[in-house]
Chains A and B, each alone.
Chain A
Amino acid sequence: MSKPIIATASLAGCFGCHMSVLDIDDRILTLIDLVEFHKSPIDDIKTFSKICDVGLIEGGCCNSENVETLREFRKNCKVLVSVGECAIMGGLPAMRNGIPVKDCLEEAYLHCPTVDPADRMIPNDPELPIILDKVYPCHEVVKIDAFLPGCPPSAELIWKALVALVEGKPLDLTYDLVKFD
């Protein structure tokens, strides 16, 4: 049997959840034996060339590019997992959800005291992804199959979840594994 294939992505996140994947320490050597990594910032593979077994999503959707990436992952991954607070509920970026986008952009690019007065403009290059009206949890954009809470989820939780997925066994969620910070 060929190795299960894992893809990962960071949307509106801080890469902390990816760091937590690396926090499994020397078990990463075992993981490399067990699975193959495909599209991921870890190996810098940028496009899907095959269907993956597991997709790990860090971060919520704050712009059009996040939505496109997430939909691409949904098409190419059999099991899609929301990893961490931001993917599950928007997290820190979602603190802007109560503020109109216009006010956010004006504060950041026009009125902020550190903006050079000669250079005050809201970025509008057509190359830039369009910012969404609010930050969306991943499961409100596509179907998500599993959720790993935490900020970041502990290396232990990520490890146990990956082993459970690879072995096709249920995950034993003990009290210490489910934490939101």
Chain B
Amino acid sequence: MSKIKFTVDGKACIGTPGQTIMEAALANGVYIPALCRYEGLKPAGSCRICTVRVGGRPMAACTQPVSEGMAVENMSQELEDMRKALVEMLFVEGNHMCPTCEKSGNCELQALAYRYQMLVPRFPYQFPARSVEPTGGRLLFEYNRCIQCLRCVRSVKTKDGKAVFGPLGRSEKKKIGMDKELASKLSDKDAREAMDRCPVGALLKKEVGFVIPIGKRKFDKTPIGSDVGKTAS
């Protein structure tokens, strides 16, 4: 198979045709911050945290195919500040009260805020009126925390292949809908996987919570992205 030569922040990397910038960078041990991306799922390009610059143009690393000679700008101060601003927007756009959330410590949005040392968002809090949907079988949908990354829409399916989640409405009225009937058919394992896939505390499995003590959770001591490059050959 032919190889593609490209660089990320000047580091020489090798990719293969068909890979996205994100996939190729990860294969070379380079971390590009991301949020809506999930290994194994079709990219959605919805959160734009993974925005990089190629030839001066911003593009989503999770959807843009890598090509020969690309010079990708990733960790520049400008891009990192823009990513931080995106994280801050997500924090003010919903109701993210970390101390009351059982995903705290394992939450990828929070982990990005830790990474960027967000002390306070630069934007005013919106405090939108949102609800909790408790009738999804083993799952509970906490709309206050949903960031519409579409991970659940892309991946949570019943045994016969029906999607349990789907986007409803447009623009600022858009929300993620849950088919209660289909959700009630999900097995214990499916519900656990759905909760693990949700980057924030929007999808929660009922009857368990706060299982891992503070100090032992995923991002308590290790910043998000620090595993990238450790296992790459």
Interface positions of A (Cβ within 8 A of B): 82, 85, 88-92, 94-95, 97-99, 134, 137, 139-140, 144, 146-149, 151, 173, 175-176, 178-181
Residues of chain B whose beta carbon lies under 8 Å from any beta carbon of chain A: 95, 97-101, 104-105, 110, 113-114, 117-120, 124-125, 127-130, 214, 220-221, 223
Instruction: For B119, give its contact among A91, A98, A134, A147 (CB under 8 Å).
Output: A147
User: Do residues A181 and B117 form an inter-chain contact, with CB atoms below 8 A?
Assistant: no
Q: How far is the CA of A175 from the CA of B219 in the complex (A)?
A: 10
Cα distance, A134 to B223, chains bound together (Å):
34
Report the Cα distance A175→B120, complex, angstroms.
16
Q: Is B125 in contact with A85, judged by CB distance below 8 angstroms?
A: no
Partner of A92, one of B100, B119, B125: B100
Asked whether, in the complex, the Cβ of A181 is within 8 Å of the Cβ of B98, the reply is yes
Contact A178 B119 (CB under 8 A): yes
Complex contact A181–B120 (CB within 8 A): no
Contacts of B220 in A (CB 8 A): 179
Bound complex: CA A88 to CA B96 (Å): 12
Chain A residues positioned under 8 Å from B127 (CB to CB): 90, 94, 97-98, 134
Contact B120 A139 (CB under 8 A): yes
Report yes or no: A178 in contact with B114, Cβ–Cβ below 8 A. Answer: yes
Ranked nearest first, the 5 interchain pairs of A and B with the lowest CB-CB distance are: A180-B98, A151-B99, A98-B129, A97-B127, A147-B119
- The CA-CA distance from A137 to B113 in the complex, in Å, is 18
22 A-B Cβ contacts within 8 A?
A: A88-B120, A89-B97, A91-B97, A92-B99, A94-B97, A98-B130, A99-B129, A137-B120, A139-B120, A144-B120, A149-B119, A149-B120, A175-B221, A178-B114, A178-B117, A178-B119, A180-B104, A180-B110, A180-B113, A181-B99, A181-B104, A181-B214
A95-B119 in contact given A178-B114, A180-B104 (Cβ < 8 Å): no
